Amino acid sequence: MNGAVDPLEHGWWLASRASGIVALALMTASVIVGLTIGGRFAMHLPKRIRPTLRAEPRLLTRAHEQLAVVSLIAIGVHGLTLLGDAWLRPSLSDIAIPFLIDYKPIFTGLGIVGAYIAVLLGLSYFFRRRIGVARWKRVHRFTIVGWALAVLHTLGAGTDATDGWLFWPVVGSSVLVALLFAARMTDLGMPSRRSAGASQAA
């Protein structure tokens, strides 16, 4: 081994880092698709190219759902694999209770809170009829808070956050989400019913 660090000794930690990055990527993609659906930004595209871009509302909704559920699985893997790390040695309460762990407690705690928000609001989709669709939609908008906390967690506590290969994609996608969110809040992407109807007819 020439005295080099043996990655197998840090396998759990590496798995946790990799799954954390996957979780953030999926979560970001899900939020982007969700904002696109909510803001009806795909309505601006000509109808004939929407299937090519998979920008049909039905397909976007499915993609949003799939990305969100797989991101929740990745979040679970991210936390559970960290339990095996021999250096950090976190207990179950360290990864389940925010701000308890010794390693960068603020940023790690923000990640745990973000994970809870993502899990609760994400899974609430399956109970939306029981909650009431209108109420569920209002609550579901706060999922972006969970995503924002996940970004802060990545940049503040992520081992690879200082590396450009992770830092710039995170910053770039965050800018995109911020723009989409601003457009969603100001209804920039929302076409009027008349123009939406004209677009459908085109």
Partner 1 sequence: MTTDPRAAKTAKPINGGWFKVAWLSGLLFAALLLGLAWQMYSGNDPLLGAGTQQAAEPATIKRKIVIERKVIEQPSGYLAEAPAAAEQQNQVQPPYQQPAAPAPAPAAPTTRSS
Interaction site with partner 1 (CB under 8 A): 2-7, 10, 14-15, 17-19, 21-22, 25-26, 54, 59, 62-63, 66-67, 70, 74, 159-160, 162-163
Closer to partner 1 by CB, 56 or 141: give it.
Answer: 56
Closest to partner 1 by CB, 26 vs 151, is 26
Least spacing, CB of residue 67 vs partner 1, in Å = 6
Q: State both tokens at 171.
A: 């910053």
For the bound state, the minimum distance from the C-beta of residue 188 to partner 1, rounded and expressed in Å, comes to: 28
Closest approach of partner 1 to the CB of residue 32, in Å: 14
- Nearest to partner 1 of 15, 83 (CB atom): 15
- Tell me whether residue 59 is exposed, middle or buried, using C-beta atoms within 10 angstroms of its C-beta: 0 to 12, 13 to 18, 19 or more: middle
- Assigned token pair, 200: 């459908």
CB of residue 27 vs partner 1: minimum separation in angstroms?
A: 11
- 15 vs 139, which CB is nearer to partner 1? 15
For 108, the token pair is 């790690």
3-state helix, strand and coil shares in percent for the chain, rounded to the nearest 5: 75, 0, 25
Tokens for 144? 């972006």
Q: Burial-class residue 150 by CB neighbours within 10 Å (0-12, 13-18, 19+).
A: buried
